[in-house]
Amino acid sequence: MSENIPFPIIQVSGTHYEIGFQVGSQFKKSIRKALLRSPFYIGLKLMDSMKPEWFNELQNYAEKCYPQYVDEMRGIADGAKMKYRDIAIVNFRHSIKLEIPKIECSTLVFKEDDKIILAHNEDHEKTIREYSYIMIAKYDKGPTIFTYSYPGCIPGNSVSFSSHGIVMTGNALQDPDLKTGLPKGLLDHAMVEAKTIDDAVKICQTTGRSGGYSFNLASQFEQKAMNLETTSTRSGLTSVNDRYFRTNHYISNDLKDIYTDNENNYRSVERYRRGIELLPYVEKSTEGAIKILSDDKVFVAMSKVTDTPLGEVYGGTHFTSVFEISKNDIKLQFYPYIKNRDNFMELTLKDLKI
């Protein structure tokens, strides 16, 4: 495992609560600072204070569906010596609309007979990047999971893969029909723990969701790749058999009728058009994936996005991840800044055997 990256790495094991406690203890300063400085996190706390019943309803769904993940969030809170509610609202964040422009993600998939490449630009607000970290967590009654974690979040909220051979990345979508249901942060965790893609899809489709998202899934042992788009009530599944590119608006056959007329959608469409323009002309390889994701019209340079009552919001691409997935192994190349190819971390499935 190469080591020359700006994100701290923690390796932990135990029950869900014990893993959460270890993470909270290790990163309590980062989590606290993120809650105090990030416009997104500050906005979540503000919305919670204005509409406290929102939290209570989501919490009921969380406890009913996945009490083990609630234990993990309690562990983070206890380890960080913080209120449980402050940690929970971070993991419930996709279930509420914030009036802050989002900086989103771009994803690419290449499918060959003997290999899948799943590549992803993780884009978000700048302050959150300063306090994020990488986790490798071995669960007593579950798989080992690698995940890039936003401060205070349980595994699966960003780029992740597990010892079950499931790889997952995501793209935020603007669901026009948010409702009370299971928060996405808990769905993420459950899906990356699945043993097959079909299991992961079933987990998402059969659970009452609070909102929509785009899940990019690949399976080592099945050699399958799929994208699952959701709203709180609908879903669209796309099998990837050749080349696939997406950003942050609905494009599946079942959901492409959904359109949101705002700045977030305009930026997503611009990146999508550029990625689709390049897609047929690059090799189906790591180099081809990086060529698209590092393109100046796809890669989002860190810059000021907007002014808000909560302060200036800066954002851009946090990192680029490229997975090469064969039946024999999963190899991840993790680039903190894709414009500098010499600085990266490499991790394989064997590195998850902690």
Q: Is the pLDDT of residue 310 over 70?
A: no
- Per-residue pLDDT band for 306 (boundaries 50, 70, 90) equals low
138: enclosing H helix or E strand: strand 133-139
260-285 pLDDT, tens digit per residue, is 766 678 889 999 999 999 999 999 99
315-327 pLDDT, tens digit per residue, is 778 899 999 999 9
Q: What is the mean pLDDT of residues 50-56?
A: 86
CB 275 within 8 A of CB 108: yes
Q: Is the pLDDT of residue 180 over 90?
A: no
Distance CA 347, CA 324 (A): 11
CB 161 within 8 A of CB 197: no
More confident residue, 6 or 13: 13
- By the 10 Å C-beta count (0-12 exposed, 13-18 middle, 19+ buried), 351 is classed as middle
More confident residue, 243 or 5: 243
Q: Is the pLDDT of residue 291 over 50?
A: yes
Q: Is the pLDDT of residue 84 over 50?
A: yes
119-141 pLDDT, tens digit per residue, is 999 998 888 889 999 999 999 98
What local confidence, expressed as pLDDT, does residue 2 receive?
46
Distance CA 132, CA 291 (A): 26
Q: Is the pLDDT of residue 211 over 60?
A: yes
Q: What is the mean pLDDT of residues 81-108?
A: 84
Closest CA to 159 of 298, 314, 288, 323: 323
**Cβ atoms < 10 Å from Cβ of 277:** 14
Q: What region does 129 belong to: left with phi over 0, alpha with psi -120 to 50, or beta? A: alpha
What local confidence, expressed as pLDDT, does residue 1 receive?
44
> Domain 106-352, what fold?
Penicillin V Acylase; Chain A (3.60.60)
Distance CA 209, CA 187 (A): 8
